[in-house]
Each structure stands twice: as C-alpha cells, then as structure tokens.
Amino acid sequence: MTRLRLFFIGLAGLLLAACGTAQPMPTTTSIAQVQVTDTPVLPTATVTTLLVTNTATPTATAVPPTATATPLPTSTPTATPVPLPPPTGRIYFFWDPTPFNNAGVPSTAPKRNLYVAVPGNTPSEWHIDTLLDQSMDWSQEAPWSPEAALSPDLTKLAFTVWKDANGDGDIHSDQGGDLTTIYVYSLFDQKLTQLTDYAPLSFFSLSWLPDNQSLAYSWGKEVYTVDINNSFSQTITPSFPQNVETVMASPDGQLITVVSRGNLFFFDWKTTDITPVLTNQINHGNMTWDPNSQWFVTNENSSMGLLAINTRTYEVFSLVESGVFSYPTWAPDGSKLSFTRGGVDNPGLFLWDPNTQQITQIYDHLVFPIWSSDNTKLAVSFVQDTVTNLAIVDVTTGEIQKLLSAPDTEIFTVLTWSPDGLWILFLVEREETLGLYVLNQENSSTYLIFEFPKDSVRPNHFFWLPE
C-alpha cells in the first residue's frame, strides 16, 4: 500500500472532563437512491475558454499613492501624531513555539496550541493567550498544519489531529499504522469536544454545514456527517472507487463537492444524486464556492489552471489555462471573483464577473488578494523593483494605493481584514524573525502584535473575528 508521509500532530493528555464523548467511526451504509458510476465521465458540454476583455486595460505602472508609503518598523512602532483607537475583535491562530535545531527537528517537546490575540487600550498593546487545556504534539520530523474550519456563525472551530500510534515518529497510511480524529472548539464557552474516535489514518477533509451544528468530512472512500451535539456520525454516500481527498459544502448546504483521486463530483443533499463533472483533472488545488452557491471554482493541478463550474448546469469554463499558476478569491457578496495569474505571459490580477462572463485585468503584477468586507477593495502584497509593497486596489477604478514598503529582503503576506474593515493583518518574514502586524488602512500606521522566532513552527489558520 502506498505510504503517505504527513507531518505529525498528536493530542497528549487531553482531560476527559474537557472533551465530549467520542463516537466510534461508523461502518459504511449504502443509500439506495444514490447512483454513482465507477468511472466518472465528463459532461457533454465542453470546457469554454474565456478571454480577457479590453474594456479595462490597466496602466503599465501603478497609480501613485495618495501619501508616501510608510516604512515597516523594525521594532515596536512609535505612537502616531493622532492617537488611534485600538482595533476591535479577536485574532485566532494555531502555533507551536518550539524552536528547531539545525536538522529542522523540534529541539524540545512540542507545544502545539490554539492562540488568541486580544487588543489592549492602544493599537500597540496586545495580549496573547493559549486556549486549549492541553497542548498537542507535533511530529518529531517536521511541522504539519491541521485541517481547520470555522463555522458559518463564527462561533466554533473544527480541526483534525493525527496520532503517531505506532510510535515511529512519522505518519503512515499503512494498515495498522497511525490514527486521526476530529475535534471542535467552542469560541463562546471554550469547550473542547472530540467528535470521533481515533481511526486509521486516511485523507481527512472538513466542511461545516449551514446549520452550524454538523460537519461533512471524508474518511477513506466515503463521505460522512457528524452532529457536534452528540458526536453521532453517519455515511451520506456509498463508497467511491478511490479515497475521497476533499469535501466542501456549498454555503446553502444543497450541494457537497467531492474530489476522489482527481475526479470531481457533486452530491445533491436533497435528491442524493451524485453527478460526475471532471475526470482526472483535480489535484490538491485551491477550491472555493461563491457565497451564492451557484459557482464552484477550482485549480486543476496543485495551483495551476483555473476552472469555474456553473452548478445549475454543470457547464465548465476555463479562466486560466492549464500549467499556469492561479489563486482565486470571491468577493463577500459573490459579485466578482478575483484571481491571480502567473507566468511570463500576461501575469497580474484579474476580476471575473460570473453574470457577464467578462474577465478584466486590474493590475499587471502577481499579487495575492484579500477582499474587504464591503466588496470594494483588495489588500495585496507584491515585489516591484526590489521593493516589497503592501497596497490596496480599488476594484472599481483599478487605483493602487501603496501603504507600506520595505526592501525585498522582507516578505509580506496579507492574511485578512479586521471585521470593521479599518485594519489589515499581515505577516512580515525577515532573516531572523517572523512578525505579525496590523496596519491601519486609512493612515498606514503599523503596529507589531507578536514576533515569532524564525526557527519556530510557522503560525497558520488565522481568523479575525468580531467580539
């Protein structure tokens, strides 16, 4: 059997009083009404390639910013002339502070945990706290991020844990090897509940259903749901020919996307029909539903190519050709899809209108966009002429406002906007440190939240939530 090498995350000494009762992994049960073929076939409609329109050709250079970009501080920033109120909300993330030795192996016992950053009385004051009663172990080989999913009502966080059951310091999918399970953490009452017993490791993907009380997940060749109130799991599909790698429920809960060994299916919750759409074309790329549940967008191979699928008709449209890097994100109202396009031929930032099928280029540099909550702006980071920049793009006018600049020895990664849309959360990677910062998008004031040692495990899964 093929050996799956994953990085180890375990759970050490979790108090039973803090956990709900875990249910055993259910046996597979068939649903008679469901029909699925062993070999999925492409729909009769061919993939339509969409072309970039000439209606909004960008200028060759960015629009000059309204103010001089603020250099990133190398230490805690000084107070600005006009005092700013502190940001609102809380920032959650996973992190392990364990330093690595020269071989890239944690030098002490792993201390995996869920953290929260809470603002103080000023933008420069932040309090960092751990949330889990017991930390989770890491593999002694290297770090691995958990699968994590935030509930639609923003009150619960579900995540997976891998267990090195055979004690060899690695994670295997071989029979009799290592194990996996699902936990859910309530951000409201800080309750941690184990939803499933540890089961033999397989591909494991999580997706919340819109009721906020249940999760869809994959295990082996089946798709399951689990009720977070009683930890009851049940299968909702028959066995697919190969392992299910990804499940993703539409925002309205009507459809569940299933990826099994490169084949893309849609499971209809109401009719229990399974529709094959793509064959041997999908491989661990970025996938996203539009907020209105009509369009599903996915890379083809890893982060290459970009396809949009109309789930009303199952027509497939090609936005970026195969073999070209692309990263998609939807506007919160679903009116536009932003996506990056790499390569030497026509790289940049684009918008796609699903109603008109028009693609418009709004910037000619490769950036990684994050939408503002009002659907009008994109926060982006990019390198231009040996300078690293953090900027805002106006999606209506295409105007680029640079907020922050630094030498290209520093790397910016935009993470998210604050709930009120006034602040941008981003990481700054330097030679020795990794800093977590907030930036006020109105005056470019920048404040350090926390500085991670560069030799520690990289933090991940950031969520900035309202109070």
Please indicate whether residue 164 or residue 377 has the higher confidence score (pLDDT). Answer: 377
* Residue 434 domain-assigned (yes or no): no
pLDDT of residue 134: 61
Please indicate whether residue 139 or residue 279 has the higher confidence score (pLDDT). Answer: 279
* Residue 313 domain-assigned (yes or no): yes
Please indicate whether residue 167 or residue 106 has the higher confidence score (pLDDT). Answer: 167
DSSP one-letter string for 2-44: ----B--B---S--GGGSPPPBPPPPP---TT----SS----S
* Beta strands across the sheet bearing 90-95: 126-130, 113-119, 90-95, 460-465
pLDDT of residue 346: 79
pLDDT grade for 33, boundaries at 50, 70 and 90: very low
Range scoring the smallest mean pLDDT among 196-205, 332-341, 408-417, 435-444: 196-205
* Residue 384 domain-assigned (yes or no): no
Percent of the chain with pLDDT over 90: 50
pLDDT > 90? residue 310: yes
Please give the angle made by the CA atoms of 85, 444 and 376, to the nearest 5 degrees: 95
* Residue 132 domain-assigned (yes or no): yes
pLDDT grade for 166, boundaries at 50, 70 and 90: confident
pLDDT of residue 160: 85
Host H or E run for residue 185: strand 179-186
Confirm if 281 and 260 have CB atoms less than 8 A apart.
Answer: no
pLDDT grade for 141, boundaries at 50, 70 and 90: very low
DSSP 8-state symbol, 455: T
Q: Residue 248: beta bridge partners?
A: 257
* Residue 322 domain-assigned (yes or no): yes
Range scoring the smallest mean pLDDT among 99-108, 144-153, 230-239, 316-325: 99-108
Count of structural domains, the chain:
1
Closest CA to 379 of 343, 421, 344, 351: 421
User: Domain limits at 61?
Assistant: 16-68+89-362
Q: What is the pLDDT of residues 82-138, one digit of tens each?
A: 678 999 999 999 887 776 655 555 555 556 789 999 999 999 999 999 998 665 554
pLDDT of residue 109: 56
Rounded average pLDDT over 349-365: 92
Please indicate whether residue 80 or residue 283 has the higher confidence score (pLDDT). Answer: 283
Residue type for position 316: V
Rounded average pLDDT over 251-275: 94
Rounded average pLDDT over 274-303: 90
pLDDT grade for 31, boundaries at 50, 70 and 90: very low
* Residue 9 domain-assigned (yes or no): no
CATH code for position 308:
2.120.10.30
Confirm if 115 and 92 have CB atoms less than 8 A apart.
Answer: yes
Where residue 228 falls (left for φ over 0; alpha for ψ -120 to 50; beta otherwise) is alpha
Distance, in Å, from the CA atom of 164 to the CA atom of 180, rounded to the nearest integer, reads: 9
Please indicate whether residue 210 or residue 75 has the higher confidence score (pLDDT). Answer: 210
pLDDT grade for 380, boundaries at 50, 70 and 90: very high
pLDDT grade for 165, boundaries at 50, 70 and 90: confident
Token digits of residue 409: 């020895």
What are φ and ψ of residue 7, in 5° steps? Answer: -85, 145
Closest CA to 273 of 32, 28, 29: 32
* Residue 225 domain-assigned (yes or no): yes
* Residue 25 domain-assigned (yes or no): yes
pLDDT grade for 210, boundaries at 50, 70 and 90: very high
Please indicate whether residue 384 or residue 91 has the higher confidence score (pLDDT). Answer: 91
Please indicate whether residue 458 or residue 133 has the higher confidence score (pLDDT). Answer: 458
Mean pLDDT for the chain?
79
